[in-house]
């Protein structure tokens, strides 16, 4: 809980396992180094988590590119028509499908301070 995860670990578990199996995936709750924080900061973290859980059903789920955007015959490469559709967009589709562009804003994290 106190150690950072690799940048793509949420994408791997979220899309590669949970989303693929039909689960809705919410942004992770991130606590920065609770082990060295004061008791007050840890209490604040837990209160933030408690509040988030009470309102979780109202949160938007993390967006993942649909499987039909990919060509399974070509090793699940992004289809040319999808590339064209998103070529003029400001950001890529998702963290894993960034197309060499900035990541979509607020696409994968929900940090608790």
Report, as an integer, the average pLDDT of 55-76.
88
Residue 99 has pLDDT above 50, yes or no: yes
Distance, CA of 113 to CA of 108 (rounded, Å): 16
Residue 14 burial (C-beta neighbours within 10 Å; 0-12, 13-18, 19+): buried
Q: What is the DSSP string of 38-64?
A: -HHHHHHHHHHHHHHHHTGGGSPPPP-
Distance, CA of 86 to CA of 32 (rounded, Å): 34
In a domain, residue 1? The reply is no
> Residues 65, 83: contact at Cβ < 8 Å?
no
Considering the chain, what percentage of its residues have pLDDT values greater than 70? 81
- Per-residue confidence (pLDDT) for residue 6, from 0 to 100: 44
| Domain span holding position 100 | 9-112
Structurally, the chain folds into a number of domains equal to 1
Q: pTM above the 0.75 mark?
A: no
Per DSSP, the three-state class of 21 is coil
Report, as an integer, the average pLDDT of 42-69.
90
List, for residues 11-51, the tens digit of each pLDDT value.
567 777 888 888 888 888 888 889 999 999 999 999 999 99
In a domain, residue 2? The reply is no
pLDDT, the chain, mean: 81
Per DSSP, the three-state class of 111 is strand
In a domain, residue 4? The reply is no
């Amino acid at each position: 809980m106190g150690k950072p995860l690799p940048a793509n670990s949420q994408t791997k578990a979220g899309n590669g396992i949970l989303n693929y199996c039909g689960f809705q995936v919410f942004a992770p709750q991130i606590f920065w180094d609770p082990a060295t924080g004061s008791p007050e900061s840890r209490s604040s973290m837990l209160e933030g988590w408690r509040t988030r859980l009470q309102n979780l059903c109202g949160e938007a789920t993390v967006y993942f590119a649909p499987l039909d955007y990919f060509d399974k015959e070509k090793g699940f490469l992004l289809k040319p028509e999808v590339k064209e559709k998103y070529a003029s967009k400001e950001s890529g589709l998702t963290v894993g499908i960034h197309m060499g562009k900035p990541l979509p804003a607020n696409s994968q994290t929900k940090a608790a301070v």
